[in-house]
Structure 1
Amino acid sequence: MKAAVWYGKQDVRIEDRDVKPVDDNDVKVRVAWTGICGTDLHEWQIGPILLPVDQPHKVKGETTPLVLGHEVSGVVEEVGKNVTGIKPGDRVVINPVVLPGKYDESVDRYYGFYSIGLHTDGSFTEYVVIDEKNIIPVPEDLPFDKAALAEPLSVSYQAVKHAGVKEGNVVAIFSCGPIELLAIIAAKAAGAKEIYAFDLVEERLEKAKEVGATEALNSGKVNPVEYLREKYPQGVDVSLEAAGVKPTFDQAIAVTRPLGNVCIIAVHTRNFEFNPLALMTSGVKLSSSMGYTPQTIKESLEILRNEEFNFEPIMTKKIELDDLVEEGFQSLANDPKQAKIVVKVSGDM
């Protein structure tokens, strides 16, 4: 089968790979559409970051070269002999994160996991084989290209749930990349009354307005703290910090009301000094969010079905698997107008 395989930094090759065998509890999915995640882009740009290169992955025992990709929708092609809840022909998405199953699903991911596209072969290929418990049915009225957004939307929606966004809240979001654009929709779905988005890139700010931000402001021109404190002297209810740098971390705390929530959803690549007194004297509660629960993916599919929400500005380009590097990775790296690029494999709708 055709696959996009990571060999090294800026070295992803389209080549032929064998389809993995279908074990008793496995499901083989014919990939319809698969999205490019920031994780995929970063592994191509500067990796290896999470990919196992020098040491085999402790659970899967695999090393690179591996097939990238983990945001996937498709059709069931084959099932193992013990699989009862899924049958060939079913429309599905894949939860790419395989949990240890030792604890409640709300916390299980914090005790170890492996993911397709990082620790074993992923979805930039024609077929994915994975355990039945990671298969989630897709409603008939949801197109496959849109269904491929279920995984990244789940990251955003989980963060919104962690942050406690509820009906009537005022929310500030720092950064307007794909995950944050989806977080705007997730916050609206949770009942947020007003959403203020901040970024330095005008093209991203325009998309934030298109998907439903109340206001989208260039933080290089407008001071977020001064702006929001003038509108809401007590502060906003919730801030989502997704830029991953100290200035926005500090700003997120500074704009939030006492007993309000700041949730960190960015991957911070650098340490920085932080005085906890900033929390003690402000009464702000600080938390973080990583990944999602299986239930959140199911809920995200329902959000995707809801015609009230506009996902079109987020899906900025649809490409073929053969063009993954040039039209996918390079485009995301160099074109600020790009948000979520989805890759057609079988192209089933």
Structure 2
Amino acid sequence: MKAAVWHGMKDVRIENVEEPVVNPGQVKVKVEWTGICGSDLHAYHHGIGVQTGAPHPISGEMAPLTLGHEFAGTVAEVGDGVTNVSVGDRVTIEPLIYCGECEYCRQGRYNQCERFGFIGLNANGGFAEYAIVQPYMVHKLPAHVSLEEGALVEPTAVAFHAVRSSRMKVGDKVAVFGVGPIGLLTILSAKAAGAAQIIAVDVSDERLAKAQEIGATAIINGARQNTEEEILALTGTGVDVAFEAAGAQPTFTNAVSTVKKGGEVVVIAAFAKPASIDLMQLMVKEASVTAILAYRHIFPEIISLIANGTLDVKQVITKKIALDNLIEEGFELLIQDKSQAKILTKIQP
């Protein structure tokens, strides 16, 4: 079968690999659509944590491995003992790897597992014609939810978990710093949760236009405008919640400076290096900074919200490509063309 295999930094190859065999207690999925995530881009351009000779403690896999953790398809085969899905079911995959035994797993906080990992980063993933997953990762899709939408459940879960974990209430004012795919989905999630004012901040006019199209009530180009002054002018005293989805020092600084007294900054994006913070400003405001990692116990809710039209996630799709073109029209294009948001890859020929 064909797969996008990561061998090292700037070395992802579309190659023929052996089709995986399902073992007892496993599910084999025929993958139809896989989204490109920021972590896939990071793996391509900078490398990933899994290395040759260092297997993941749960999956046991090591490099080279197949990328991709935002994917959907149909169940092709089930191993002995699997009862929650059947061959032919249309499904999306919750790609978190966890042990189920550590303190955090026992508390239901499986995204905090001591041996946490991801399909597609710590085990073979969804940029392949077939993928092997655990039954707990498989969520059925209603008939009227497309497989393209199914591939967007995972990134939507990140954004919705951030909103649901925050202190945001119906009628609140929020700002979203960075409107790439996760930032755009955060806007959709905040809108669905009842935010009265949603301010989008970015340096790309194209992405800001998309943010306004999907529900931002105001947009600010941080490269040309004074973000702090603009947000204070729009809100009076600042926002109730600022979502940091850019992972950069300037946006984090602006997020802290534009939350109102008693407000909250929620960090969603991964930072490449440590960030500094004005603790005196935080203290004077009695504001807080929190962070989220992935999601937990949320896929069924996301699927329902997509099914009933509350979350129109199709709006963030800007391009669809073939697996053969993943490098040039996916990984490279996303770095060069900031008008792109979510690029989906068609896996089957």
Residues 162 and 288 of structure 1 are in contact (CA less than 8 Å); yes or no, is this contact kept in structure 2? no
Kindly indicate whether residue 196 of structure 2 is the aligned counterpart of residue 197 of structure 1. no
Alpha-carbon spacing, 1:24–1:309, altered in 2? closer, same or farther (3 Å): closer
For these two proteins, the number of residue pairs brought into alignment is 345
Residues 220 and 230 of structure 2 are in contact (CA less than 8 Å); yes or no, is this contact kept in structure 1? no
Q: What's the offset of the Cα at 1:43?
A: 1.0
Q: What's the offset of the Cα at 1:110?
A: 1.5
Alpha-carbon spacing, 1:116–1:251, altered in 2? closer, same or farther (3 Å): same
- What RMSD over aligned residues (CA atoms) do the two structures have, in Å? 1.7
Residues 257 and 283 of structure 1 are in contact (CA less than 8 Å); yes or no, is this contact kept in structure 2? no
2:293 corresponds to which residue?
290
1:255 corresponds to which residue?
258
Residues 95 and 151 of structure 1 are in contact (CA less than 8 Å); yes or no, is this contact kept in structure 2? yes
Paired residue secondary structure (2:285): coil
Q: What's the offset of the Cα at 1:248?
A: 1.5
2:66 corresponds to which residue?
67
Kindly indicate whether residue 319 of structure 2 is the aligned counterpart of residue 317 of structure 1. yes
Q: What's the offset of the Cα at 1:55?
A: 2.3
- Residue 36 of structure 2 aligns with an amino acid whose one-letter code is I
The CA distance in 2 between the partners of 1:83 and 1:310, in whole Å, is 32
Alpha-carbon spacing, 1:299–1:308, altered in 2? closer, same or farther (3 Å): closer
1:97 corresponds to which residue?
96
Paired residue secondary structure (1:188): helix
55-64 vs 320-329, which deviates more? 55-64
The CA distance in 1 between the partners of 2:336 and 2:29, in whole Å, is 32
Aligned with 1:227 (options 226, 230, 234): 230
The CA distance in 2 between the partners of 1:270 and 1:106, in whole Å, is 30
The CA distance in 2 between the partners of 1:105 and 1:213, in whole Å, is 36
The CA distance in 2 between the partners of 1:157 and 1:60, in whole Å, is 27
Deviations 1:273-317 (A, max 9, x none): 334222211111210011001x21221112322435443441111
The CA distance in 1 between the partners of 2:223 and 2:268, in whole Å, is 21
- Residue 327 of structure 1 aligns with an amino acid whose one-letter code is E
The CA distance in 2 between the partners of 1:279 and 1:77, in whole Å, is 52
Percent identical: 40
Q: What's the offset of the Cα at 1:52?
A: 2.5
Kindly indicate whether residue 20 of structure 2 is the aligned counterpart of residue 17 of structure 1. no
Q: What's the offset of the Cα at 1:106?
A: 4.6
The CA distance in 2 between the partners of 1:42 and 1:287, in whole Å, is 23
Q: What's the offset of the Cα at 1:54?
A: 5.1
Paired residue secondary structure (1:281): helix
Paired residue secondary structure (1:22): coil
Output the TM-score relative to the length of structure 1: 0.94
Paired residue secondary structure (1:158): helix
The CA distance in 2 between the partners of 1:143 and 1:133, in whole Å, is 21
Deviations 1:139-170 (A, max 9, x none): 11011112110000001111111213221111
1:30 corresponds to which residue?
30
The CA distance in 2 between the partners of 1:172 and 1:104, in whole Å, is 34
- 1:96-245 matches, within 5 Å, as 96-102=95-101, 103-104=105-106, 106-111=108-113, 112-245=115-248
Deviations 1:82-105 (A, max 9, x none): 111211111110111122213246
Q: What's the offset of the Cα at 1:24?
A: 1.8
1:303 corresponds to which residue?
305
Deviations 1:17-59 (A, max 9, x none): 1233322211111101111111111211222x33323522233
Gaps of 5+ in 2: none
Paired residue secondary structure (2:7): strand
2:331 corresponds to which residue?
329
Output the TM-score relative to the length of structure 2: 0.94
Paired residue secondary structure (1:239): strand
Q: What's the offset of the Cα at 1:208?
A: 0.5
Q: What's the offset of the Cα at 1:211?
A: 1.1
Q: What's the offset of the Cα at 1:322?
A: 1.0
The CA distance in 2 between the partners of 1:41 and 1:170, in whole Å, is 32
The CA distance in 2 between the partners of 1:312 and 1:208, in whole Å, is 13
Paired residue secondary structure (1:331): helix
Paired residue secondary structure (2:159): helix
Residues 36 and 345 of structure 2 are in contact (CA less than 8 Å); yes or no, is this contact kept in structure 1? yes
Residues 211 and 311 of structure 1 are in contact (CA less than 8 Å); yes or no, is this contact kept in structure 2? no
The CA distance in 1 between the partners of 2:152 and 2:172, in whole Å, is 25
Paired residue secondary structure (1:160): helix
